[in-house]
Structures are given as C-alpha cells and as structure tokens.
C-alpha cells in the first residue's frame, strides 16, 4: 500500500514493489484493518488541523491562508500564551517525573505481594483513574466556604479563623492542581507496569542471586528494569503526553479563566480559542506547537531511558 | 523499631516465609509507605460510596462527615422514579452503551493486536515509518481534530450511528502502542519454530503472540472498556434512542442542587461496572502469573 507506493517512487521498478508485496503480504494484511481506521480517523484529521493552522478560520466563512501569522502572533503578541507555556512546562517538569516514578515504584512494590492482595492494591491505586470524574471531589475538599473539608478541618483545629478561598488565591491554585494531577496519575502507565512486571522471567532472579545480587535494589537495577525496557518506554510516552496536556482539571477546579491565569495551560488556551472564540486557525496552531513540544520532550526522555540498567 | 522487626521475623518464621534478597526492615518500611499512599489514593472512592447512601440532610451537614451515619436507599429510589418517567426506557440506553462498549472493546483488542504483531517483530518496508507515525499521533491533541473528524464522519454517513463512536476508538493508537511494546518481548525463537512447522503469520498471531501477550491485552480490555463505558456520544449521536446511558444519567444530574443525592447514587452505579470488569480481568492476569513469565 503506502509502502509499495513509496518503493515505486524510490526505485521506479514495479517488480521490486511486487516482490516486497509477495514477501510481506501477510504482514501488510494484518496491519490493513487498523491502518484504514488509523488513516481515516487519526492521520487525515491531524494533517487537516495542521493545514488549518496556517489559515484564519472562524468556522463560518471559508478558511483563508495566512502563512505563519498564527505562529508569529502566538510567540510575539500573545502574552497569555507565554504564561500558559510557562505554567505547562513548570507543571510537567514537576508532575511528569514524579508521576512516572510513582507509577513504577507502586507497581514494583505491589508485585511483591501475594496475588490476592496484589489485585486489591492495584485497584486501590488505580481507583482515581477508574472513577471517571471523581476528581471533582477535590472541589468539595477545597470548597471556599466552611462546608469544604479542608476549611472545616482548619477551622475545627483553630488553624484559621475564617475559610480560605482556595481557588481564588493565586498561590494555592497551582499546588492544588499538582496534587490532584499526581493523585490521578496512576493510570495507563501504572497498569502497563503491573502487567510488564509479571512478564519478567523469574529464573533471572535465581540466576542473579547466584551471580552475587544481594538486595532488592540491585535486583531492581540489574534485572527488573532492563527486562521491562519496552514498558518503560511506553510509560514515558504516556506520562509525557498526560503531564503536558493538563486542562480539564484546571478548568473544572480552578475555573476558566483562573485567577490571574494561575491555572492557565497550553490546552486551556487552546480551549479558549477553539470553543469560546471559534478561531480554529489559531487553536490549531496552538495544538501544533504543543505537538512539537511533546515530540521534543519525548526524544530527550527516550535517549535518557536507553541508559537504564547499563 | 527493633521490637517491630523482631515481631515480623517471628511471624515470618511461624509461616515459613523466607524471601531471597529481602531485608525485614525494607519490608516494613515499604509496606508502611504503600499503606499511607493507598489510603490517600482510595479515600475519595470511599467518599463516593458513602455519599450514595447519605440522606440529603447528611450531605449538607457541617462539619462534613466522611462516613454515613444513617444509611438510606432514598437516593436510589429517587433515581428509579426519575428513570421510570423517562420517555426512552432506561433499558434502551443501557443496550446502547453495552453495544458500543462490547463491540468497541473486542474490535480494539483484535484489530490493534493484529497490527501490533508485525510492527513489533519484523522490519519490512514501511514498518519503521508506521511505528513513528503511531507514537507521534499520540501527541497531537484531540480537541482540534474534532472538526475534521466530524466532516469525515458525515461524508461516510456515520453521524448518528454507533459506529461514529466505535470506529475511531478502534483506530486509536494507544492500544496498538501498548500491544506493540509487549509483543516485542515475545522471543523470536518461538516465532521461528512455528514457521518451521509451516504456520502462517495469521496462525502465529493467534497461537503464539496472543497467548504470550495475555497480560497486555487484558490491560487493553480494561482501558478500552473504561473509555467507552463513560462515552456520552457527544457531538456524534443525536437521536435520543441511540444515546448511551452515561448521557441519560448526566442529564438527570444536571438538573441542579435538588438532585445532589441522586447524583451521588448515579456516580456509584456508573463506577460499579468498570470496577467489576477491572477486578475480573486483573484476577485473570494473576492466574497467568502462576506460570512463570516469558522465557527467552
């Protein structure tokens, strides 16, 4: 398909393409159903969005081509976007590594338990992710009146004489969002790690013990981590994308716009232009920028992960 | 501290537990660590469960209480009355959700595993390009692709059908990326051996790859089920009769403060099913554990 076209373009020899098809026919057939859905529902929409990012498009009139104007405006004229980028990067720099390590550490500790306890503990840690919008509970905890749990406790124990306006105070918004994000972060990567740990060949531990491995930390570094490299790479991609795309919890908890843009992220900025102002060209440019930030982060992190256990 | 260590040592000795490369002090501190974070993680769930059984007076009590004092089923009874009055029967909403979830999950697991196998175990023209494309597509945010997506769906006449929700979820890359990363670990010798026996790629996929990546596709079932179960069909399904149950329930909850009690009952009901699926599938992962991991 796609590849055979490519080889035709490269070699210009249809027989060559024919040979490739003959040799790998079954592999292409296995991929085909997914490839069709993937191209139709993911690749084409993404490419369309990237094209729209070079236009001015309000969803009523036809898009008009404006070149790099959206990107230039974003980086030069849009002060709020710069706040959003700063917040997002700062947020990701804290929650990304911590959540990644948390996912691994918890799955690793759980793996030591007996099967029944392990299943239970997996559910306990995965509970926030499976609970849908259960994070809204934090709204109740940090509610600004005295009915909020945090305020009720602080009042009861006399730490404060009047309720704190949590989400209306600039200094509190960001830390609270970080706590909630970390609480939510034992998700896809965590489950992948739990499953990955069960695939580790047990005889390696016995062999390691003979070779002089003395404690659980050496076991972790020399056997477990290297055996789990594919899952670690998978988890890294997942944590990078999730820690850089925080928006919903910010909008739901801190409100939109948040006080002095303290909870403003790249994605809430995108939300603003995409759903409130209907400037799809500009919104697509924001999405494309976020995409490149993620790709760049991913390249760095993957390089670092190659060094694990070596 | 020394007392605790001694007590644990005694308990271990009594139950004949001896573990290689594990210190007792390490065991104690790690267990404590797990317990503290476990409580932090699970307590909002405890809150949701308790809230569902609270009468209205207790929901708005000050200072707020975590545990219910006088448990009642009023919230569930109210919900039943509201649902009884709905002009599309609730069973129809449930059928819609079950159809979308089951077809979507089965489709995702089979189709993305099929594609993951060749990408994980072979290099052939286009394989590297496709793998890169898949990772990078995970990084493009879905909010701006919603519009082009809608246009494509309407061209394909999928709007207002179940398929508008099912097909994109099967074509999403998360499942493939997950399966691919687990299938890389299946020893190549096993595939070679199957080939020597004259097995086709399809046969190898079904008899070698799938059984050996069981823990991965069980994880994928959980993820896919969870995502589809919560879908409201927003933006793609407009006919009331085709809408999923979470849409119907969210309409009830949106009616205001008076529905706070019903809302907590709804939250608990919607949570129960994914949790059950989670428990059933996780215990299956653990059964495969009895056999050892994948060996080279």
Cis-peptide into B63, omega within 30 deg: yes
Residues B59 and B180 in one domain: no
Is pLDDT of A11 > 70?
Answer: no
Place of tokens 């496709």: B130
Contact A53, A288 (CB under 8 A): yes
Please state the φ and ψ torsions of residue A202, each to the nearest 5 degrees.
Answer: -65, -30
Residues spanned by the domain of A35? 1-52
User: Could you give the number of structural domains in chain A?
Assistant: 2
Higher pLDDT, A150 or A225: A225
Is pLDDT of A51 > 50?
Answer: yes
A237/B134 touch (CB, cutoff 8 Å), yes or no: no
Residues A22 and A156 in one domain: no
Please state the φ and ψ torsions of residue A65, each to the nearest 5 degrees.
Answer: -70, 130
Instruction: Identify which of B45, B118, B144 has the shortest CB distance to residue A127.
Output: B45
Residues 6+ apart with CB under 8 A from A299: none
Phi-psi category of residue B77: left, alpha or beta, with phi > 0 → left and psi -120 to 50 → alpha? alpha
The neighbour count for residue A307, using CB atoms within 10 Å, is 7
Residues A270 and A156 in one domain: yes
Q: Is residue A252 part of a domain?
A: yes
> Chain-wide mean pLDDT for chain A?
84
Low-confidence ranges of chain B (pLDDT < 50): 289-292
Task: Sort out which chain A residues have CB atoms less than 8 A from B12's CB and list them.
Answer: none
Contact B48, A137 (CB under 8 A): yes
Task: Sort out which chain A residues have CB atoms less than 8 A from B38's CB and list them.
Answer: 121, 124-125
Contact B179, B224 (CB under 8 A): no
Handedness of CA B30, A106, B230, B142 (dihedral sign): positive
Euclidean distance between CA atoms A159 and A149, whole angstroms: 14
- The stretches of B54-162 forming alpha helices (DSSP H) are 56-59, 74-84, 90-121, 127-137, 142-155
Q: Is residue A60 part of a domain?
A: no
Contact A38, A261 (CB under 8 A): no
Residues B91 and B68 in one domain: no
**Residue B250 contacts A, CB cutoff 8 Å:** no
Q: Is residue B296 part of a domain?
A: no
Contact A178, A223 (CB under 8 A): no
Q: 3-state DSSP call for residue A56?
A: strand
**Residue A124 contacts B, CB cutoff 8 Å:** yes
- The stretches of chain A forming alpha helices (DSSP H) are 2-11, 14-38, 44-52, 69-72, 79-110, 115-130, 137-141, 149-156, 170-184, 188-198, 203-210, 216-219, 225-227, 229-244, 248-249, 266-271, 280-305
Euclidean distance between CA atoms A221 and A213, whole angstroms: 10
Residues B188-206: pLDDT tens digits? 998 999 999 988 999 999 9
Please state the φ and ψ torsions of residue A56, each to the nearest 5 degrees.
Answer: -105, 120
Residues A101 and A213 in one domain: yes
Euclidean distance between CA atoms B194 and B208, whole angstroms: 8
Q: Provide the pLDDT confidence category of residue A3 given band limits of 50, 70 and 90.
A: very low
User: Could you give the number of structural domains in chain B?
Assistant: 2
Residues A266-284: pLDDT tens digits? 988 988 888 888 888 999 9
Residues spanned by the domain of B28? 2-75
- Counting DSSP H helices and E strands in chain A, the numbers are 17, 2
Predicted confidence at residue B116, as pLDDT, reads: 95
Is pLDDT of A62 > 70?
Answer: yes
Place of tokens 């373009």: A9
A213/B21 touch (CB, cutoff 8 Å), yes or no: yes
Q: Is residue A33 part of a domain?
A: yes
Residues B108 and B29 in one domain: no
A46/B152 touch (CB, cutoff 8 Å), yes or no: no
Contact A280, A218 (CB under 8 A): no
Strand partners, A8: none
Among A8, A177, A200, A7, CA closest to A94: A177
Task: Sort out which chain A residues have CB atoms less than 8 A from B178's CB and list them.
Answer: 188, 192, 234
Predicted confidence at residue B81, as pLDDT, reads: 86
A203/B23 touch (CB, cutoff 8 Å), yes or no: no
Strand partners, A64: A56
Residues A103-150: pLDDT tens digits? 999 999 888 887 778 888 888 999 888 876 667 778 777 877 777 778
**Residue B219 contacts A, CB cutoff 8 Å:** yes
Predicted confidence at residue B285, as pLDDT, reads: 67
**Residue A82 contacts B, CB cutoff 8 Å:** no
Residues A25 and A148 in one domain: no
Residues 145-184 of A with CB under 8 A from B: 146-149, 152-153, 155-156, 183
Distance of CA A131 to the CA centre of its chain: 18
Predicted confidence at residue A14, as pLDDT, reads: 60
B115/A125 touch (CB, cutoff 8 Å), yes or no: no
Higher pLDDT, A152 or B152: B152
Place of tokens 């469960």: B49
Residues A182-191: pLDDT tens digits? 988 888 999 9
A27/B118 touch (CB, cutoff 8 Å), yes or no: yes
Predicted confidence at residue B291, as pLDDT, reads: 46
Residues A12 and A156 in one domain: no
């Amino acid at each position: 398909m796609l590849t055979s076209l490519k080889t035709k373009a490269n070699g210009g020899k249809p027989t060559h393409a024919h040979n490739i098809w003959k040799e790998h026919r079954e592999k292409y057939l296995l991929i085909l159903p997914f490839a069709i859905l993937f191209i139709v529902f993911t690749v084409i929409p993404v490419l369309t969005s990237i094209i729209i990012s070079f236009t001015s498009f309000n969803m009523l009139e036809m898009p008009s081509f404006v070149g790099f104007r959206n990107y230039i405006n974003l980086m030069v004229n849009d002060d709020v976007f710069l706040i959003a980028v700063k917040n997002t990067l700062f947020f990701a720099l804290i929650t990304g590594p911590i959540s990644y390590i948390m996912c691994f550490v918890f799955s690793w500790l759980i793996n030591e338990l007996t099967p029944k306890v392990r299943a239970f503990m997996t559910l306990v840690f995965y509970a926030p992710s499976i609970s849908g919008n259960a994070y809204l509970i934090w709204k109740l905890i940090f509610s600004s009146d005295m009915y909020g749990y945090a305020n009720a406790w602080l009042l009861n124990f006399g730490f404060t004489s009047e309720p704190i306006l949590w989400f209306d105070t600039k200094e509190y918004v960001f830390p609270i969002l970080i706590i909630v994000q970390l609480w939510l972060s034992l998700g896809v990567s965590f489950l992948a790690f739990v499953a990955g740990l069960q695939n580790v060949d047990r005889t390696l531990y016995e062999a390691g013990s003979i070779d002089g491995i003395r404690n659980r930390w050496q076991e972790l570094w020399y056997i477990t981590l290297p055996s789990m490299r594919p899952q670690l790479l998978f988890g890294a991609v997942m944590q990078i994308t999730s820690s850089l795309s925080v928006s919903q919890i910010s909008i739901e908890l801190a409100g939109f716009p948040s006080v002095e843009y303290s909870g403003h992220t790249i994605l809430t900025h995108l939300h603003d232009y995409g759903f409130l102002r209907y400037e799809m060209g500009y919104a697509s440019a924001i999405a494309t920028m976020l995409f490149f930030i993620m790709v760049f982060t991913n390249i760095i992190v993957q390089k670092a992960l190659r060094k694990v256990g070596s | 501290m020394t007392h605790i260590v001694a007590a644990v040592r005694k308990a271990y000795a009594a139950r004949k537990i001896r573990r290689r490369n594990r210190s007792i002090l390490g065991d104690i501190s790690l267990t404590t660590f797990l317990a503290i974070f476990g409580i932090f993680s699970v307590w909002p769930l405890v809150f949701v469960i308790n809230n569902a059984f609270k009468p209205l007076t207790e929901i708005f009590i000050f200072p707020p209480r975590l545990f219910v004092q006088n448990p009642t089923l009023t919230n569930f009874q109210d919900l039943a009355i509201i649902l009884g009055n709905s002009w599309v029967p609730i069973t129809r909403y449930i059928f819609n959700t079950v159809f979308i979830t089951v077809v979507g999950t089965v489709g995702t697991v089979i189709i993305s595993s099929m594609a993951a196998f060749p990408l994980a175990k072979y290099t052939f023209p286009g394989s590297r390009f496709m793998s890169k494309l898949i990772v990078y597509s995970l990084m493009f945010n879905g909010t701006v692709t919603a519009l082009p997506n809608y246009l494509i769906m309407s061209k394909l006449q999928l709007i207002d059908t179940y398929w508008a929700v099912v097909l994109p979820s099967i074509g999403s890359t998360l499942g493939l990326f997950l399966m691919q990363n687990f299938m890389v670990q299946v020893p190549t010798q096993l595939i070679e051996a199957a080939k020597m026996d004259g097995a086709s790629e399809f046969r190898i996929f079904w008899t070698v790859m799938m059984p050996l990546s069981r823990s991965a596709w069980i994880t994928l079932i959980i993820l896919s089920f969870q995502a589809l179960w919560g879908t409201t069909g927003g933006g793609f399904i407009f006919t009331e009769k085709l809408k999923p149950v979470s849409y119907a329930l969210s309409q009830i909850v949106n009616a205001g403060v008076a529905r706070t009690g019903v809302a907590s009952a709804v939250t608990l009901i919607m949570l129960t099913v994914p949790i059950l699926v989670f428990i059933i599938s996780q215990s299956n992962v653990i059964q495969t554990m009895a056999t050892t991991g994948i060996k080279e």
